[in-house]
Chain A
């Protein structure tokens, strides 16, 4: 296992990175797709301390591939560490995003479909239904016995206007066991600190930063739609793209009611490998 990790690290250190122009969002999806042939590798983590429960760090390792200009596919591996408890692998997810309209409009829809097979997940990549603080109080050894095989669908709406990106997600999730549909939402807006690029190479120039705000939460389920007994979060978010193309993101997020974790600290790192599969073909570089 360690050899495999070293091999992967060496491989990724030797490939060419590109500036990813990622939006600084952790939960919200924009309508922007991965460029065809590019592989984006991302690590996202979230640190939180729920009231009357142990501190945790949830994480995702994501592999996002542009299959077509209108189709992006992504595979996630999830894990979590809970203080005074354990470190566990919590499952996997496979998502696909499809852009039905092939031109840019004032608002652009994207259809999102995901299958997830997780247990004791604390990555908080979406908040739906009545997800909240009580979910974090269970010991990992007990929580992981409850397998969640779910289908998650989203309607992603996105707009770009004068450098601003506005994104709205409407989420519907169904546990494939006999649970009702659960609903949620996510909203975000962001903008680069400077719109025009610098003529010369620079590390900390404003166009390398994007800043914005993100808000998301649950909307109950089929039988109890609304915001009662749901968790809601809001926070500023920022990212910076280093000269080698690696993007670092950070967001402190705040629970807006007692059912939410008071503070979440989200962090992420991502890098994009251009034309990934062509590297394995004869003559690829």
Chain B
């Protein structure tokens, strides 16, 4: 058994690392320049409506029709997304994805549409 401990340690450490990533560790990877970015559509009603349409097209199947989350995918109404993450953090996440965790890159969407989705997601906090 003692001989097996050195073999088990890397497995335990890597499991802990994966679990840490699952709870929003991506936030720590956002460069400060991206973290500080501002949303050009902040609070604009048209952008919220447009963002809702894009969200229903591309995001709702995984994150729920009202961003409430599904069995395997996180809610976007959580405290982490609504308060902890800045709009710049969310923009970085949408552009880069979190591919190891199954979140694809949405860089295929034009930048204004990414900001519109973020405007919609952040508006859920106000509701």
Contact = CB atoms under 8 A, between A and B. Distances in A.
- A and B part of one assembly: yes
Among A192, A197, A274: residue with most chain B CB under 10 A: A197
Interface stretch (A1-9, A30-38, A112-120): A30-38
Contact of B50 (A36, A99, A196): A196
Interface of A: 18-19, 21, 23, 30, 32-33, 35-36, 66, 68-70, 99, 102-104, 160, 162-163, 165, 192, 195-201, 207, 245, 274-275
A195 B113 contact: yes
Interface in B36-50: 45-47, 49-50
Interface residues of B, number: 29
Interface of B: 45-47, 49-51, 53-54, 57-58, 61-62, 95-97, 99-100, 102-105, 107-113, 116
A18 B58 contact: yes
Given A196-B113, A199-B50, A32 B99 contact: no
A70 B96 CA distance: 12
A69 B102 CA distance: 5
B27 to A, nearest CB: 15
Nearest to A285: B61
A156 B118 CA distance: 30
Given A160-B107, A275-B62, A201 B53 contact: yes
A164 to B, nearest CB: 9
